Copies of this chain bind each other. A is one copy, B any other.
Amino acid sequence: MASSSSLYLSQALLARAVHGLNPSSDRVSLSTSTLYLPSFSGLRSHSSSTSSSCKAPTSTSSSRRVSSSSSSSVRATAIETLDKTTDVTLVEKSINTIRFLSIDAVEKANSGHPGLPMGCAPMGHILYDEVMRYNPKNHTWFNRDRFILSAGHGCMLQYALLHLAGYDSVLEEDLKSFRQWGSRTPGHPENFETLGIEVTTGPLGQGIANAVGLALAEKHLAARFNKPDSEIVDHYTYVILGDGCQMEGISNEAASLAGHWGLGKLIAFYDDNHISIDGDTEIAFTESVDKRFEGLGWHVIWVKNGNTGYDEIRAAIKEAKTVTDKPTLIKVTTTIGYGSPNKSNSYSVHGSALGAKEVDATRKNLAWPYEPFHVPEDVKKHWSRHTPEGAALEAEWNAKFAEYEKKYKEEASELKYIISGEFPAGWEKALPTYTPENPADATRNLSQQNLNSLVKVLPGLIGGSADLASSNMTLLKSFGDFQKDTPEERNIRFGVREHGMGAICNGIALHSPGFIPYCATFFVFTDYMRAAIRISALSEAGVIYVMTHDSIGLGEDGPTHQPIEHLASFRAMPNILMLRPADGNETAGSYKVAVVNRKRPSIIALSRQKLPNLSGTSIEGVEKGGYTISDNSSGNKPDVILIGTGSELEIAAAAAEDLRKEGKAVRVVSFVSWELFDDQSDEYKESVLPAAVTARVSIEAATTFGWEKIVGSKGKAIGIDRFGASAPAGKIYKEFGITKEAVIAAAKELS
């Protein structure tokens, strides 16, 4: 038993060395079972205090030393005695377990990507077994280390790791139903399907950008809440990305920001396997990634043998942790499909099952005598310690937080909102309200009033713009810039990197339920970030997209800058709220909706131009999506219904006024969010758009595509089914027929 205790001790010290910053809470083995004996050395020089702090734990909870005092010398010692202390045989057995769980699951599904898990199993093992701090029985534990598989197609790696680590979300039957209907192990990692998955990946490059967001969130919270006597926020973000991620522009955007912000606790593993779907990366990817990342301000380490160089990987992580002012890229050269004698190092192992014959050959080659999906007992036992250890880690942190709360009430209260996702009582009272007497203003300016009011009551509100803060009107006036040396601030400067911005905000949103990230650019440039916005919608990340300059109303910048099809394109997207407020109250209503919907992102389209505060608009109206703002009819039977959104609601209202003077019974409906209207009861819908009234005219300075649903076959949609033009806004409105006169003419024609 002495041997195995020593083994565990050495592993613990290694882990401590690797984890670095917080030696007091590193993993120490709780198991006393027999294990493969390692051939190690080097523990003799340990001080007695080190030994006594770790050996012979007697129970789960007491086994972990939680005091933070006097352990720095221990850590130093541990670092010096890092090498050759690992039970290589067991490690390899664990790594091969990961490989074969992946192989077997893909084989059973006859679909999936075995190549990456086989190549990345070593770094995966070291991360989940030796380095990361998590609680498998509570995937929401706030201070856990985060892991992102940016190369999401290799998800069997992560499922295998979650399975071994003891997450209940991935049981053996889940591995066996990989990629099947209703399973918890879909074809790419989905945070909303599999507890323990942090973000949804698969679309390449998103994950590394999410990871930047997660690391930003940590750095921000640590700076904001940690105290000299209590490091209450302290975790790492690990990510594995592949060649595909590296080629995507979004990863360069995010990496440039990570370097700029000095995200020292972001550690990215670049699975450098030289193979992508079309073959050797030589055909399309010959840049020097190392040099690029150095240029981006990262610390770069190269692990030349990622297949079996376990100590190299460990040493790289250790080194990465010593670099606290820069993110680290660990380029790990691996062999895709490692272990497969005939398919490794080729694209054929990337995205297809190996096939029975090659699975057999791989079993032989790696000397793996087990049945499919079998986890050897010693491996199982070895990993079993993570359950009690994880519980202890969380308990330790909870105790620490209780202490913190006693001393720092206010901060603890703020942090709890961020951790829990609850809203401070009465937060919505901060929303500004308006009357028609308030001066006309651009909704982008009204948006800024909302942001600046809300930031005072919502501890998790944080965000910024892609180099258009002064145009998008997104600056939080009571805060400075989140920067490398001022990470406690809440204005994020994303630079002209829309795609990275969206994905970073997804990472922030999914870091903790109480984060409410917002980001901004011109509405037309949602085209640059659409893939990230879609992931917000799919992964239930409640990002608020503040999108200004929402129509031809922006004027002279012309068609490259004027959205036309964008409203329709987001109305067509599942699980996202497309809001287009018309004035002050509707802007406030849009923010209320956006804040409340934490699992459904919102896009708020805002005007560059001034708009009057209209009579009849309201926050409550916005919450229903579509509602009547004025009506001179009775019995729910107007002669005509005029429907507008955003800047064109004013036109509809003006047309109604004229028509009423001519004796018409006219209802004006604001259709600020189609999705919210869809969610209403049939009775409510009938009260706004009675089926019997087919004389309906809509006006919106955008494509008419989709409006048939609202105006019906007999109605008329006024819009713009061409690209815009460069000229003063008023001129374009007139030339394109987005006018009161056009509404009146259409209304008369129909009623």
Query: A residues within 8 Å of B by Cβ?
Result: 109, 111-112, 152, 179-183, 186-188, 190, 200-205, 243-245, 247-253, 256-257, 259-260, 276-278, 281, 283-297, 347, 465, 467-471, 481, 483, 493-500, 524-525, 527-528, 530-531, 534-535, 537-538, 555-561, 564-565, 568-569, 571-575, 703, 705-706, 708-709, 712-714, 721-723, 725-728, 731-732, 735
Q: How far is the CA of A564 from the CA of B534 in the complex (A)?
A: 11
Q: How far is the CA of A152 from the CA of B558 in the complex (A)?
A: 12
Chain B residue numbers with a CB within 8 Å of A347 are 470
**With A249-B250, A287-B259, A295-B287 known to touch, is A276 a contact of B556 (CB < 8 Å)?**
no
Residue of B nearest to A250 (CB): B249
Please give the count of copies of this chain that the complex contains: 2
Q: How far is the CA of A531 from the CA of B565 in the complex (A)?
A: 12
- Give min CB distance, A262 to chain B, whole Å: 10
Q: Say yes or no: B568 contacts A203, CB within 8 Å.
A: no
Residue of B nearest to A554 (CB): B187
Q: Say yes or no: A565 contacts B574, CB within 8 Å.
A: yes
Q: Say yes or no: A249 contacts B187, CB within 8 Å.
A: no
Q: How far is the CA of A723 from the CA of B483 in the complex (A)?
A: 36
Q: How far is the CA of A714 from the CA of B494 in the complex (A)?
A: 48
Q: Say yes or no: A287 contacts B256, CB within 8 Å.
A: yes
Q: How far is the CA of A477 from the CA of B277 in the complex (A)?
A: 18
Q: Say yes or no: B202 contacts A558, CB within 8 Å.
A: yes
- Give min CB distance, A157 to chain B, whole Å: 16
Residue of B nearest to A561 (CB): B202
- Give min CB distance, A521 to chain B, whole Å: 11
Q: Say yes or no: B187 contacts A726, CB within 8 Å.
A: yes
Residue of B nearest to A179 (CB): B556
Q: Say yes or no: B248 contacts A493, CB within 8 Å.
A: no
Q: Say yes or no: A283 contacts B483, CB within 8 Å.
A: yes
Chain B residue numbers with a CB within 8 Å of A467 are 244, 247, 276-278, 284
Chain B residue numbers with a CB within 8 Å of A187 are 556-558, 561, 726
Residue of B nearest to A576 (CB): B565
Q: Say yes or no: A278 contacts B465, CB within 8 Å.
A: yes
Contacts beyond the supplied A202-B558, A538-B723: 5 A-B pairs with Cβ under 8 Å: A188-B557, A200-B560, A243-B496, A288-B297, A572-B703
Q: Say yes or no: B726 contacts A556, CB within 8 Å.
A: no
Residue of B nearest to A113 (CB): B557
Chain B residue numbers with a CB within 8 Å of A183 are 726-727
Partner of A726, one of B188, B284, B296: B188
Chain B residue numbers with a CB within 8 Å of A727 are 179-183
- Give min CB distance, A491 to chain B, whole Å: 10
Q: How far is the CA of A297 from the CA of B284 in the complex (A)?
A: 12
Residue of B nearest to A557 (CB): B187
Task: Provide 21 A-B residue pairs closer than 8 Å at the C-beta atoms, listed in order of the A residue.
Answer: A111-B556, A112-B556, A180-B726, A180-B728, A181-B728, A203-B560, A244-B496, A248-B497, A249-B252, A276-B496, A278-B493, A283-B483, A283-B493, A287-B295, A292-B295, A527-B530, A528-B530, A564-B574, A569-B569, A571-B705, A705-B709
Q: Say yes or no: A295 contacts B291, CB within 8 Å.
A: yes
Q: How far is the CA of A251 from the CA of B260 in the complex (A)?
A: 18
Q: Say yes or no: B259 contacts A253, CB within 8 Å.
A: no
Q: How far is the CA of A204 from the CA of B204 in the complex (A)?
A: 22
Q: Say yes or no: A249 contacts B253, CB within 8 Å.
A: yes
- Give min CB distance, A469 to chain B, whole Å: 5
Partner of A531, one of B278, B285, B525, B556: B525
Chain B residue numbers with a CB within 8 Å of A202 are 557-558, 560-561
**With A249-B252, A250-B249, A495-B284 known to touch, is A470 a contact of B260 (CB < 8 Å)?**
no
**With A204-B496, A495-B247 known to touch, is A725 a contact of B181 (CB < 8 Å)?**
yes
Chain B residue numbers with a CB within 8 Å of A257 are 284
Q: How far is the CA of A109 from the CA of B731 in the complex (A)?
A: 14
Q: Say yes or no: A277 contacts B468, CB within 8 Å.
A: yes
- Give min CB distance, A334 to chain B, whole Å: 18
Q: How far is the CA of A186 from the CA of B728 in the complex (A)?
A: 11
Chain B residue numbers with a CB within 8 Å of A528 are 203, 248, 250, 499, 530-531
Q: How far is the CA of A592 from the CA of B525 in the complex (A)?
A: 32
Chain B residue numbers with a CB within 8 Å of A469 are 277-278
Chain B residue numbers with a CB within 8 Å of A732 are 181
Q: How far is the CA of A291 from the CA of B722 in the complex (A)?
A: 43
Residue of B nearest to A259 (CB): B287
Q: How far is the CA of A283 from the CA of B465 in the complex (A)?
A: 12
